Chain A
């Protein structure tokens, strides 16, 4: 398994973990209480920033193993990352369209959308971004052996 593949698995874990943790917090404390519940907001921010930091730390991969001739990332890996970027872009775009259509249809009558959804769109965008990149990389490796 290449370092990039390991990173992709970690990204998938972080993304799915964030999604599950945030869903659990929202279910436990109630989605509608987000406006008044400071604890819920704090937990949500900590989960998002924490997940992002864990993911960011793993983003940088050195070209060669320090003190060794072993190559850690090469042209094939870079090509796979380029392919994964397309998966990422499409996944985020599709998730934004789903949010837009769902919220418009749900709140058409009220002519306004609760502010909580701005946070949820941002959080889901972040999670979709991380998961889609990881999935794109893993699919890329599967396709090119």
Chain B
């Protein structure tokens, strides 16, 4: 089975949303700032629930935030 990776555009989307801080995003989606840091660095793959919450904060579909790459 080929290794799949989930990349994301969270850093870009934060920048586009008035340079939202990692802390503000973390508070709005209900996670720690360290988890946002790990997400942006591609070191942590979020649950579906967290992925949808992040997308909702930015007002975009989840696939605009997270991309599945084989």
Contacts and interface: CB of A to CB of B under 8 A. Distances in A.
Interface of A: 1-2, 69-77, 143-145
A143 B38 CA distance: 10
Interface of B: 23, 26-27, 30-32, 34-35, 37-38, 41, 43-44, 46-47, 49-50
Given A69-B27, A76-B38, A144 B44 contact: yes
The 9 nearest A-B residue pairs measured at CB: A145-B43, A145-B38, A74-B31, A69-B27, A76-B35, A144-B44, A145-B41, A74-B32, A2-B34
A77 B38 CA distance: 12
Contact of B32 (A73, A143, A144, A145): A73
Given A71-B27, A77-B35, 12 more contacts: A1-B34, A2-B32, A69-B27, A74-B32, A75-B35, A76-B31, A76-B32, A76-B34, A76-B35, A143-B43, A145-B38, A145-B41
Nearest to B37: A145
A37 to B, nearest CB: 48
Q: Is the interface of A mostly helix, strand, loop or mixed?
A: loop
Contacts of B44: 76, 144-145
Contacts of A77: 32, 35
Contact of A75 (B23, B27, B31, B37): B31
Contacts of B26: 71
Nearest to B46: A75
Nearest to B42: A145
A73 B26 CA distance: 11
Contacts of B50: 75
B43 A144 contact: yes
A9 to B, nearest CB: 15
A71 B32 contact: yes
Contacts of B49: 75
Contacts of B32: 2, 71-74, 76-77
A71 B44 CA distance: 17
B10 to A, nearest CB: 13
